[in-house]
Amino acid sequence: MLNNAPNANISQATRQRVLEAARELGYTPDAAARSLARGRSSNIGLVLVRPHEQIFIDEYLPTLLTGLNQLAHRHGYRILVDILDDAGGADAFADLVSGKEVAGLIVQFGNPTQAVLDRLTGYAVSGFPIVTLGRWNADLPSTFIDKIDGVSKAVQHLIDLGHTRIGCIPYAPPASNWYLKCRLDRVEETLVAAGLTLESALVEPGAYDPKTGYEAALRLLRRKPWPTALFAMNDVMAFGALEALRQLGVRVPHEMAVVGFDDIRLAAFASPPLTTVREPDVELGRYAAQLLIDQIEGREPVERNVRLTTTLVVRESCGAKLSQSKNPF
């Protein structure tokens, strides 16, 4: 009962008396003892496979962890986080899987190789609980946000406002990353469906952070004719673009519309407040934890591949009426 097991057959009154007595005695549950009683670890592993410098640039990780912790703590599990720059060489997951330090793994990739996916699928088939963040393989349970549809929402919104020259700041390098290429392809597909084109001169990649968004916007605005709207693949790159436009005297939204992606907390406090695509990252964490815990505890998941959708959040940065203004260059 002191382990707060959710299925313990103990009355609430008895539970309360025991907990109060434990507090008076200064009792602290022994993690190793709890794991021994369960017959498995009380830890869930979260493995982030991407360069370290990308991890803490925006708010994805804290919000994801919020959702994971909410479910994990409710069921008596803790989250252990491991960051891998590369999982393509030696088996980076072997120690976690065979060492019994964790009861299951939640894995988030930047751009997984087929060899890594095959390795994880092998673990899953052998009975080790695994959930991927992103649907990379139909044989692996997953929770994922439909970011591709979110890209469509952002670009279509700019089209509906009347923009025909839309600049894009994607992640770099899209050509070598299948998923990043899919997001940029969706920008082009949405434009083509509206009878427009994505000119190569209107695409300048950034690298996740405000500085590269700032530099990409400067490069875009050195070309004639310049775009009337910018879509950045994340909010922090959009912040950089906003600063570049401010320094050049380009008024947002009057002369240039700007849209981001993620809806981090600072988006509503940008100048002007940033139109963006909201991702349900907390919910993603909750669903991932539930899906993994169901496997760990021998329950059949209600759904093996959980798809979450995005929401367009319209704020002042996209409200431009197209105007004929001079290129500041």
Residue extent(s) of CATH 3.40.50.2300 domains in the chain? 40-140+280-309, 147-275+314-318
Strands 257-259 and 229-232: parallel
What are the tens digits of pLDDT across the range 66-101?
A: 999 999 999 999 999 888 776 554 466 777 788 778
> Per-residue pLDDT for 325 more than 50?
no
259 vs 37, more confident: 259
Across 11-27, average pLDDT: 63
Q: Which amino acid is at 188?
A: E
What are the tens digits of pLDDT across the range 101-122?
A: 899 999 988 777 788 888 888 8
Q: How confident is the model at residue 300 (pLDDT cuts 50, 70, 90)?
A: confident
Smallest CA-to-CA distance from 140 within 313, 253, 319, 306 is with 306
Q: How confident is the model at residue 143 (pLDDT cuts 50, 70, 90)?
A: very high
What are the tens digits of pLDDT across the range 226-236?
A: 899 999 999 99
Residue 323 is predicted with a pLDDT of 44
**Cβ count near 157 (within 10 Å):** 19
Instruction: Please name the fold of domain 40-140+280-309.
Output: Rossmann fold (3.40.50)
Across 269-296, average pLDDT: 95
The b-or-e profile of 206-233 (16+ CB within 10 A means b, else e) is bbbbbebbbbbbbebbeeeebbbbbbbb
Instruction: Give the integer Cα–Cα distance in Å for 108 and 212.
Output: 24
> Per-residue pLDDT for 6 more than 80?
no
Residue 90 is predicted with a pLDDT of 47
Q: How confident is the model at residue 177 (pLDDT cuts 50, 70, 90)?
A: confident
Q: How confident is the model at residue 326 (pLDDT cuts 50, 70, 90)?
A: very low
> Per-residue pLDDT for 297 more than 50?
yes
Up-side HSE of residue 166: CA atoms within 13 Å toward CB?
32
Q: To which residue do tokens 């968004």 refer? A: 213
Residue 114 is predicted with a pLDDT of 80
Across 201-210, average pLDDT: 91
Sheet holding 229-232, edge to edge: 166-169, 229-232, 257-259
119 vs 292, more confident: 292
Give the least confident one: 47-61, 241-255, 287-301: 47-61
Helix 235-247 and helix 210-220, axial crossing angle in degrees, nearest 10: 50
Residue 309 is predicted with a pLDDT of 96
For the 147-275+314-318 domain, the top CATH level (class) is alpha beta
Q: What is the pTM assigned to this prediction?
A: 0.80
Across 123-135, average pLDDT: 89
The b-or-e profile of 114-148 (16+ CB within 10 A means b, else e) is eebbebbbebbeeebbbbbbbebbeebbbbbbebe
